[in-house]
Amino acid sequence: MRRTAAVVIVLLFVTTASWAQAPSVLTSTYFDAQPDPAVPAQPPQVGGGGLVQPAGAGPAPFGNGEQPVLRFAGDNGPVNQFTFSLNDDTGYDDNVFGTDQHRARDFFTAVGPRVMFLTSRKHVNFDLDYAPFFQIYKTYSHYDSVNQTLNFDVSAELSPRFQLRLREVAAELYYGLFGGFGPQEVAGLGPPGTTVPFFINPNTRSIDSSSRVDLVFNKSARTSLDVFGGFSMLNYKIERGAGGTYLNLEAPSGGFSYSYRVTARGSFSLTYDYMRSVYLKTFLPPRFQTHSASLSYAYQASPAVLVSVWGGPEYTQIRETLALPFPPFGFVEVPFARQAWNWSAGFDVSRTTPVSTISLHASRYVSAGGGLLTAVNDTSGGLLISRRLTLGWTGNAGINYLQLRSLSFGGLPGGNYNVAYANLGFSHKLGERASIRFNYWGTRQRHGLGSTFSYADADRNRASVGINWDIGKVHLGH
């Protein structure tokens, strides 16, 4: 991640002049209410099939690989601009290290810059969002850390029928910090196969990186075909002698997605996705291969209401090695393989008006784990709300539930995790360049792996007040 950050900084200054004149066709995921830098916003998912929707193609169905931002109607966010901002949040965390076994409370300050470079032209889009931040504690100053998040998205129209898109999303977080779950985010539309890091990783440094390339063929105004490939990585490093063993993950993936617009309001898609997950730095590393096929339908019920449903079968091949006792020689390694059929399904219903947004979503699918679990059945759901209040204030609220159940057998302990988390926030603009925000996050995480892994249980509450200041903003024209 440190090498990635250096490359991004160099890339930023080298490409600013040239890309400022380049065309684009996609919109930014930027929104006015800045996320708390102490809890970086979850980036768009990039593990599934991508589909760049041509103009007038109707609502995007499942399979386009996006994690859309839930906005107020008519608010599309800025494009064609370079922004350099500074974020400063001060607050209280009642579980600094993300574990109930060694619970520590402290006041913190999270401060850092954010560099955003967005340009949208006729044939090319370039979107870069990089945000390092310093986590500083009042009492536990020896646990101060530097964290960073990166979101890179570039696409090009090769011809009237072909489009190429490259995405990279990465984050480096320390000591139980977790990705954000702001109310602007709704359930990802990408197919099963995305990596799912544990919500809280106690006493570790975690590096999460996902890349994907999409080649899209627009056969007609109604029909599109996307062929995609990707690679995801989760890396955990235990810090300062903390207990626990974490599984690092590498997961290549690929597939295709076919989309057909039935009417101006409705679109179907059929998506095939393949994922191969390998868990590293274990005594007997397991391997999983998952094939999934999903049929989906998205319908714009009204200008304010969008409904999306999807589902299909999944086939997982599990290959592990069992270490069986064999006195007096110790252990004998026995290869083991089995197959498992599962199903995936999900829905998302969102309503967007100029003064309020609401999204209700739920999903179930097989995904790569990492951390303490290997491949998992991932079941989740949530309700997200945002509303413009009086006197220029905006309120956000969300409640979510996540259940991860391991598919592992024999080679590693199976188990599950149940996580509930909620957030509440208020923001207000202070002039053209500054804004203030008040945020609260609460989480509850419980494991089902036995007493050996009880250090991963966590109840956590975190509250902060923050200021965002746009130091420099350069508009790049239309």
Q: Domain holding 177: CATH number?
A: 2.40.160
pLDDT at 40: 32
Residue 247: strand pairing partners = 371
The pLDDT value given to residue 38:
35
Cα separation, 33 vs 82, in Å, equals 17
Burial of 14 (0-12, 13-18, 19+ CB in 10 A): exposed
Q: What angle do CA 470, 473, 478 make, to 5 degrees?
A: 140
Rg (alpha carbons) of the chain, rounded to whole number: 22
- Compute the Cα dihedral for 263, 265, 266, 272 and give only its sign: positive
Question: What residues have CB less than 8 Å from 47, skipping those under 6 apart?
Answer: 65, 190, 193, 194, 195, 210, 212, 230, 232, 251, 253, 275
Write the DSSP symbol of residue 195.
B
Which amino acid is present at 444? R
Structure tokens at 37: 């830098």
Q: Measured between alpha carbons, how far is residue 286 from residues 66, 318, 332, 403 in Å?
A: 29, 8, 16, 22
Cα–Cα distance measured from residue 170 to residue 453, given in angstroms and rounded to the nearest whole number = 27
Q: Domain containing 453: what range?
A: 2-475
Q: Which single residue is written with the structure tokens 């800025």?
A: 78
Q: Residue 157 and residue 163: Cα distance in Å, rounded?
A: 4
Three-state DSSP class for residue 7: helix
If DSSP codes are grouped into helix, strand and coil, which group holds residue 339? strand
Mean pLDDT of successive 10-residue stretches along the chain, which has 478 residues: 41 32 26 34 32 42 58 72 91 87 90 90 88 92 87 91 89 66 35 50 76 90 90 75 68 89 89 86 73 89 89 88 67 75 88 91 83 82 91 91 78 72 92 92 82 76 93 76
Rounded to whole angstroms, the Cα distance separating 455 from 238 reads 13
Residue 331 confidence (pLDDT): 65
- b/e code 239-267 from CB counts within 10 Å (16+ = b): eeeeebebbbbbbebbbbbbbbbeeeebb
- Find how far residue 36's CA is from the centre of its chain: 16
Contacts of 55 (CB under 8 A, 6+ apart): none
Give the closest residue to 152 by CA, choosing from 177, 133, 171, 172.
Answer: 171
Distance between CA atoms of residues 267 and 60, nearest Å: 7
Count of domains for the chain: 1
Q: How far apart are the C-alpha atoms of 439 and 460, rounded to whole Å?
A: 14
Dihedral sign of CA atoms 103, 108, 111, 114 in order: positive
Angstrom distance (rounded) from CA 24 to CA 377 = 38
Cα 328 to chain centroid distance, Å, stands at 49
Residue 420, classed as helix, strand or coil, is strand
Q: How many CB atoms lie within 10 A of CB 293?
A: 17
